[in-house]
Amino acid sequence: MASQSTPRLAILDPFTAWRTNMSRLPKCLVVSAFALWVASVGAQTTYPSRPIRLIVPAPAGGPSDTAARALTKGMSAGLGQEVFVENRPGGNAGIGAGAVLTAAPDGYTLLFALAANAGLPHLSKASPYRSLTEFSPIAAIGGNTQCLVVPPSVPAKTLQEFAGYAKASTKPLMRGSNNVAEDMVATEVTRALGFTLDRVSYKGAPQMLPDLLEGRIQAAVLPVGASLPHVQAGRLVMLGCSMAERIPALATVPTLAESGVAAAPLITAHFVLGPPRVPAEIIDRLAAAVREAAQTAEFKQVMDRLLIVGSARSPAQTQELIQQAEAQYMRFARETGASID
């Protein structure tokens, strides 16, 4: 009589069992799941183990770039690894954002998004993303107050005077712009006061300023940090700013509402974001580093000089602020039909 062998139980190590189960899924899902598993394991043990790049979708030298560099200095100290800025201007801040959207979700490529990045999908079909909510929210710090400025060659000291000058001009006046936040403020002004400006596109404020200072373009909406030194030196005239109320450093400059522009103040912020699907452990590590960096005296001094206000926000608060900013741009696009395409 033949002996019967006792069935042997197959004992698989966890990775082999995981791989066996994954073999039953479509290949694309397996690759994504494996990438997330590797990133998560790495986050628990070694992150960060190499330098981290923070992509700024604006040129070097502007207020957003200055704020980002101040932030990375504090983050580098807190993380024990260098965090460095890489400038990717152009495409109304979309080029830099697109580079981060497709980066690996490992925490080594981040985006220092502008308020304009929240509006881009709603004003341009060329946007590489449909919403900033596609990115992984890490933190938010204060944003740029946007102000309409003109060179002294323009005979206007108020928005009302500028509107009258534009209406009487025999040829269209030109306005410099490098992102949709500036376009939104300018459109609200021209729509409320009943005049038009021809838009001239630039990569950033540093590229725009020479033409503005020399009067080759007649107006621009610029972050207060970029325009204030020239206003103080008498090379530009500040006509109005998109803010809820006057601030001490701009005590003589009216808000847009005081000048007859009833639109709500522009929601502004700089958002620190990662690519989609960054593991929670990495998000928490980075959020803590931003929070600590934003509390340093050196960072606060830079923000004070740029007139940027607002403390660092948590990932959840950042996501909520993104949604609020996008809702503002959606309303603007729906009500005005504005587009930059």
Mean pLDDT of 143-165: 96
pLDDT band at 23; cut points 50, 70, 90: low
| Burial of 15 (C-beta count, 10 Å sphere; 0-12/13-18/19+) | exposed
- Look over the chain and give the mean of its residue pLDDT values, rounded to a whole number: 89
pLDDT band at 35; cut points 50, 70, 90: low
Radius of gyration for the alpha carbons in the chain, expressed in angstroms and rounded: 24
Highest mean pLDDT among 160-174, 240-254, 327-341: 160-174
Q: For residue 29, is pLDDT > 70?
A: no
User: CA 177 to CA 180: how far, in whole Å?
Assistant: 8
CA angle 162, 215, 61 (to 5 degrees): 105
The pairing of strands 146-150 and 174-177 is unpaired
**What are the distances in angstroms from CA 319 to CA 85, 118, 138, 324, 327?**
23, 11, 9, 9, 12
Phi and psi at residue 322, to the nearest 5°: -60, -45
CATH number for the 146-259 domain, one of 3.40.1010.10, 3.40.190.10, 3.60.21.10, 3.30.1700.10? Answer: 3.40.190.10
CA angle 161, 213, 244 (to 5 degrees): 50
pLDDT band at 177; cut points 50, 70, 90: very high
Side-chain half-sphere of 250: how many Cα atoms within 13 Å? 31
Which pTM does this prediction carry? 0.82
| CB contact set of 9 (below 8 Å; sequence gap of 6+) | none
Give residue 339's pLDDT: 85
| Burial of 166 (C-beta count, 10 Å sphere; 0-12/13-18/19+) | buried
User: CA 339 to CA 125: how far, in whole Å?
Assistant: 9
Mean pLDDT of 154-170: 97
Q: For residue 104, is pLDDT > 60?
A: yes
Give the homologous superfamily in CATH for domain 43-143+268-336: Bordetella uptake gene, domain 1 (3.40.190.150)
Q: Report the amino acid identity of residue 112.
A: F
| H helix count then E strand count, the chain | 12, 10
Give residue 248's pLDDT: 86
| CB contact set of 220 (below 8 Å; sequence gap of 6+) | 148, 149, 175, 176, 177, 182, 208, 212, 227
Query: How do the domains of the chain map onto residue ranges?
Result: 43-143+268-336, 146-259
| CB contact set of 221 (below 8 Å; sequence gap of 6+) | 146, 147, 148, 149, 175, 177, 182, 183, 185, 186
- Please write the tens of the pLDDT for every residue from 286-325: 999 999 999 999 999 999 999 998 889 999 999 999 999 9
Render 9-22 in DSSP notation, one character per residue.
PP---HHHHHHHHH
| CB contact set of 59 (below 8 Å; sequence gap of 6+) | 65, 87, 89, 203, 204, 205, 206, 207
Q: How is residue 24 annotated by DSSP?
A: T
pLDDT band at 224; cut points 50, 70, 90: very high
Q: Please tell me if the domain spanning 43-143+268-336 has the same topology as the one spanning 146-259.
A: yes
| CB contact set of 203 (below 8 Å; sequence gap of 6+) | 59, 89, 90, 178
H or E stretch covering 97: helix 94-101
